[in-house]
Amino acid sequence: MKKYNFNAGPSILPEEVIKQTAEAVLDFQGEGLSILEISHRAKYFQPVVDEAEALMKELLGVPEGYRVIFLGGGASLQFCMVPFNLMGKKAAYLNTGVWSKKALKEAKGLAPVFGAEAIELAASTNSIPMDFEVPQDCDYIHITTNNTIYGTEISERKLQEIYRKKGNVRLVADMSSDILSRPVDVSKYDIIYGGAQKNIAPAGVTFVIIKEECLGHVDRYIPTMLDYRTHIDGGSMFNTPPVLPIYTALLNMRWLKEHGGIKFIDERNQKKADLLYNCIDNSKLFTATIQDKEDRSRMNICFVLKPGYEDLFDEFFKFATSKGMVGIKGHRLVGGFRASCYNAMDVEGVQALVDCIKEFEAMH
């Protein structure tokens, strides 16, 4: 039976990309060696990193003065790398869910060590709050563009408002779960980072897009591995990088480019989200957890059974599983269901879930 992978992360990848990765595991580019056993210093691996950096820049339209690096440690390590590299006297965090809260926790923990202060601008888990001002004495403001667990996402309109509010303050964004899913004006950011396992690659690699000019303004010892400079100067090869996930990231970005790049995927993601939210909004059994349409995530679509129907949870879960749906159980903090519709999920996959919901409704 065909499986429809709605896992939140690690998550779905295009079938061709998985096949090409499997080929490289057996024989990397006809070298007679597996990608699992080659040196990252081998002459044929440097071009992989170079092309991955170039493709990410091309797909997102990254301007001059920025570098793209690939690291280990996950997005979670960035929660402390950002303050280590950028925090002078004050940093501000928009708290929109579990991941931004974790980023704020690291900033709050490090602030006293650095003689600085970390503040929360506003907090909400079921909407994107905009009732805040950005103190102009901040070194940076940190946002999470898509909240993987609660299923909110900062709309383009709200992003524009944040760009206005921030004035000259640097902007840092965790884009783990919506990178490459929509256009982004990279010039407005100093650092964009994310774990690649949601929309780009298998687990193990973290991307960081960084404006070189923002570095070098703090006066402290930065542990070598936590210093962005180290990895920029080392071309992502200061120490052994996650070779396999970087290669899959490259294959996936080639896939995206061949299919029409960000414009293509942005339109397809919109179509998918409209399809599923429409179904849920018109459902007699289910309702979306995020009511304000503007704040709804296109990547992580969360819905619950309506009051009075909650006891159908197990039955629907079993039914959906029998139809090939995988990974639709909601996060334990939210309950209900979550269908993650990352780039590699096609419209037919979302249509299959919609059909499944409708068929279940017809039975009740």
Which residue, 72 or 135, has its beta carbon nearer to ligand PLP?
72
Q: Which of 166, 198, 211, 272 is catalytic?
A: 198
Of 58-66, 114-122, 172-180, 248-256, which segment contacts ligand PLP by CB under 6 A?
A: 172-180
Indicate whether 7 belongs to the interface with ligand PLP (CB under 6 A).
no
Distance set, CA 5 to CA 113, 264, 328 (Å): 43, 21, 8
Name the region of 182 (left: φ>0; alpha: ψ -120 to 50; beta: rest).
beta
Answer yes or no: are the C-beta atoms of 191 and 207 closer than 8 Å.
Answer: no
Query: Interface with ligand PLP includes 148 (CB under 6 A)?
Result: yes
Check: CB of residue 88 under 8 Å from CB of residue 63: no
Q: How far is the CB of 277 from ligand PLP (least distance, A)?
A: 20
144 binds ligand PLP per the rule CB under 6 A:
yes
Q: Which of 180, 178, 20 is nearest to 96 (CA)?
A: 178
Residue 174 near ligand PLP by CB under 6 A? yes
Which region, judged by CB under 6 A, interacts with ligand PLP, from 126-134, 174-182, 214-222, 273-281? 174-182
Which tokens belong to 266?
Answer: 């942005």
* x-or-dash string of contact with ligand PLP, 42-81, rule CB under 6 A: --------------------------------xxx-----
Q: In a 3-state reduction of DSSP, which class is residue 159?
A: helix
Residue closest to ligand PLP (Cβ): 195
Question: Is 255 a known active-site residue?
Answer: no
Please tell me the distance from the alpha carbon of residue 142 to that of residue 128, in angstroms, as a whole number.
14
Candidates 170-178, 184-192, 255-263, 305-313 — which segment interacts with ligand PLP by CB under 6 A?
170-178
Q: Give dist(CA 76, CA 131) in Å, integer.
A: 27
Closest CA to 350 of 271, 254, 260, 267: 271
Question: Can you tell me which of 9, 245, 261, 349 binds ligand PLP, judged by CB under 6 A?
Answer: 9
Rounding to the nearest 10 degrees, give the CA dihedral for residues 11, 100, 270, 333.
Answer: 70
Size of residue set near ligand PLP by CB under 6 A: 12
Nearer to ligand PLP, 9 or 242 (CB): 9
Positions marked active-site = 99, 174, 198
Residues that bind ligand PLP (CB under 6 A): 9, 74-76, 99, 144, 148, 174, 176-177, 195, 198
